Amino acid sequence: MHKAIFVSACLLLLGCTSVVKCYSSASEEDSEMSLDTRRSPVKEEECQEETKSETKGEVHSAGASCSKCKPGQICTVPDKCTCPVGPTGSKCEIQSAGLCSSAATKHSPSVVSIDFGSGSSQYSSAKPESLGFKTDYKQVSSAKQLTHDGSFAIVNAVPHDFATWFSNKPKAHGSTDGKGYMMLVNAKHGAGQLLKVNADNLIVGLRYQFSAYFANINKKGTNIILPNLILEARTATSDRTVIASTPTGKIPEESSLTWKQYGMSFIAPTSSVILSIESKAGGGGGDDFVVDDITLVPCQPVDNVVCSGK
């Protein structure tokens, strides 16, 4: 319901001469992509060596200290900066790794978790800020208003606003009693951020999964604009460097409301990132959907991460 934050990070040490080694005791069966070793070869770039013994660097969970890495890079060995994916040019490419295995995330604590809560009233009065996110869309809070283009509502059943929608009966993802809320969206024309959330206290060098469940609320056969979203992760630094980005692709019309998980995984290059969801279909006739269970989780049980060093 609310954004949950865990704080479990390796020690930050000063100076490139001290190194902390961090590793996971989880087996490969527990994590499909928990470490970067399964990715394609990467290009390494030398760090600038200015008074190396006096440099204050962040000790990454990959076990190296370096203060000169560019946004999007991680330290992999002392004084080496490496892009999470490759091959690369002068800058790190945007990551596009898929979802982690269910076994890898099953017991992982959520860094971000937004399920919109529950209630007996069809419309929730909860505001985005209280649920841990921001949006450029206008909120509809009662059946007295239609959810027009550029609007959203937090509901426990799809309202009968338009004849093409699955109305009243469709429930939130995972809801068994019909009281669970979901976010219903009628996408706007042009650009507009549907959702933005800050995620803090990440372990640098660890792989995380950003995902959400989506469903098209237009009935099969209406043949109107299909929803198409982009999930993105950026650094929280001033340049807002894109770390990872993936489209859902066109979400098809179905004979009944059909939930499907979409998302990506990425290696955290910084301890804070900004997550966002935007529509790229353009609004108009169609482009209506619901979203639920938005999460950011580590791709391995963080309780199994062990740090040791001098």
Q: pLDDT at position 135, please?
A: 97
Phi-psi label, residue 243: left if phi above 0, alpha if psi -120 to 50, beta otherwise? alpha
Residues 6+ positions from 209 with CB-CB distance below 8 Å: 99, 100, 105, 263, 264, 265, 295, 296, 297, 298, 299
**217 found inside a domain:** yes
**213 found inside a domain:** yes
- pLDDT, mean of residues 258-263: 96
**98 found inside a domain:** no
Q: Is the pLDDT of residue 260 over 90?
A: yes
Strand 288-298, strand 207-216: pairing: antiparallel
**102 found inside a domain:** no
3-class SS letters over the chain: CCCCCCCCCCCCCCCCCCCEEEEECCCHHHCCCCCHHHCCCCCEEECCCCCHHHCCCEECCCCCEECCCCCCCEECCCCEEECCCCCCCCCCCCECECCCCHHHHCCCCCCEEECCCECCCCECCCCHHHHCCECCCEECCCCCCCCCCCEEEEECCCCCCCCCECCCCCCCCCCCCCCECEEEEECCCCCCEEEEEEECCCCCCCEEEEEEEEEECEECCCCCECCCEEEEEEECCCCCCEEEEEECCCCCCECCCCCEEEEEEEECCCCCEEEEEEECCCCCCECEEEEEEEEEEECCCHHHEEEEEC
**280 found inside a domain:** yes
Domain extent, residue 142, equals 112-298
**200 found inside a domain:** yes
Q: pLDDT at position 309, please?
A: 39
Chain-wide mean pLDDT for the chain?
76
Nearest CA to 112 out of 16, 209, 244 is that of 209
Task: Summarize pLDDT for 72-112 with one digit per residue, the tens.
Answer: 555 554 555 665 544 333 345 555 689 999 888 988 899 99
**307 found inside a domain:** no
Integer-rounded Cα Rg, in Å, for the chain is: 21
Supply φ then ψ for residue 212, to 5 degrees: -155, 160
Q: Is the pLDDT of residue 207 over 70?
A: yes
Structural domain tally of the chain? Answer: 1
Q: Please, are residues 114 and 197 in contact by the beta-carbon 8 Å criterion? A: yes
Check which CATH number belongs to the domain holding 232 and give it. Answer: 2.60.120.260
Residues 6+ positions from 37 with CB-CB distance below 8 Å: none
Q: Is the pLDDT of residue 33 over 80?
A: no
Q: Is the pLDDT of residue 306 over 80?
A: no
Supply φ then ψ for residue 156, to 5 degrees: -105, 0
Decide: pTM greater than 0.75. Answer: no
Task: Summarize pLDDT for 215-245 with one digit per residue, the tens.
Answer: 999 999 999 999 999 999 999 988 888 999 9
**6 found inside a domain:** no
Q: Please, are residues 282 and 229 in contact by the beta-carbon 8 Å criterion? A: no
